[in-house]
Amino acid sequence: MQHTPISIHPNSSQTEREAALQQIYRQVLERQPYSYERRILGRLEKDFLANRIGVRRFLRELGQSEVYLNAFYFNTSNYKFIERCLKHFLGRALLNHEEMQHYGNVLARQGAAGLISTLLDSEEYRKAFGGFTIPHARAQSCYESPKAYLETHVLNQEYAGRRGNAVPTLIWHELGLNCDTGVCRHPEADEALEPPLPGIADHLPDSFLALLRGDNQELDTATVRELVASLSPQQRKALQRAILS
């Protein structure tokens, strides 16, 4: 899903700035703010509509606000938060485990505000959106490979919470699940996975249960890959079902 780019300049009209504000919320919050959230964001909105701040300044303050952090940070794992930040501020999915690890280190050292500033101050952001364009899902020609484009396409179909708040889409694919249609299917059967049966957690390692709950937010990607590789076929199937619950 690619959006038509919207840009705001110093001479943009009030109507254009109001339309841009709605688009920013669709991109970053994946919805329009609730009434109580608008009260929190009131000063920020007023400054943006009055042309006292630009797009990137608005994005930075929105991303570091309690509205954004309550929606995407405090109730999720670190890696899922990183994935959503790239979606919201760079318009794409994670490229690989190495990038996930890199931004995981940024988050651990600089916190959520530091991660968002790193994305907004990056050369990639500057080249993709400049100082006036609202981040958006980018055209296929912008990606390094078809796989990178498809990862982003899948992520853009995933509204907040649709596939849980712990496991990034990249890990879903590591497990061999096909989520391209928005409904994850078992790789060996042409049918959607059913919810886990009672007691299914008894068949999964404690480390994976902690990952699914988001308890172990410091678990590095190399360890995740090793754990996935060590699972028996029965455990892998149980884990796939547990993620879908």
User: Based on the domain organization, do 50 and 139 belong to the same domain?
Assistant: yes
User: Based on the domain organization, do 100 and 190 belong to the same domain?
Assistant: no
Residue found under tokens 């709950």: 213
242 or 132, which is more confident? 132
Overall number of domains in the chain? 2
User: Based on the domain organization, do 118 and 61 belong to the same domain?
Assistant: yes
pLDDT tens digits along 92-115:
888 888 999 999 999 999 999 999
Encoded tokens for 197: 């049966």
Domain that holds residue 215: 175-244
Mean pLDDT to the nearest integer, 119-139: 93
User: Based on the domain organization, do 200 and 113 belong to the same domain?
Assistant: no
Q: Supply the pLDDT for residue 192.
A: 47
Mean pLDDT to the nearest integer, 3-8: 84
pLDDT tens digits along 155-200:
666 665 555 555 566 665 566 665 555 455 555 555 544 444 344 4
- Whether 81 contacts 112, CB under 8 Å: yes
User: Based on the domain organization, do 147 and 94 belong to the same domain?
Assistant: yes
Using the CB atoms, write b or e for 41-53: b if 16+ within 10 Å. beebbeebeeeeb
User: CB 126: neighbour CB atoms within 10 A?
Assistant: 12
Residue 127 predicted with pLDDT over 70: yes
- DSSP-based three-state secondary structure for 192: strand
83 or 216, which is more confident? 83
For the entire predicted model, the pTM comes to 0.68
Q: How far is Cα 69 from Cα 61, in angstroms, rounded to an integer? A: 11
User: Based on the domain organization, do 132 and 182 belong to the same domain?
Assistant: no
pLDDT tens digits along 224-238:
666 666 666 666 666
User: Based on the domain organization, do 112 and 187 belong to the same domain?
Assistant: no
Range of lowest pLDDT (21-30, 63-72, 135-144): 135-144
Closest-CA residue to 149 (of 103, 97, 185, 95): 95
Q: Supply the pLDDT for residue 150.
A: 58
Closest-CA residue to 28 (of 1, 68, 64): 68
User: Based on the domain organization, do 217 and 146 belong to the same domain?
Assistant: no
pLDDT tens digits along 40-98:
999 999 999 999 999 999 999 999 999 999 999 998 889 889 999 999 999 988 888 89
Q: How far is Cα 103 from Cα 133, in angstroms, rounded to an integer? A: 24
User: Percentage helix, strand, coil, to 5, in the chain?
Assistant: 60, 0, 40
User: Based on the domain organization, do 27 and 96 belong to the same domain?
Assistant: yes
Q: How far is Cα 155 from Cα 160, in angstroms, rounded to an integer? A: 10
**Is position 164 within any domain?**
no
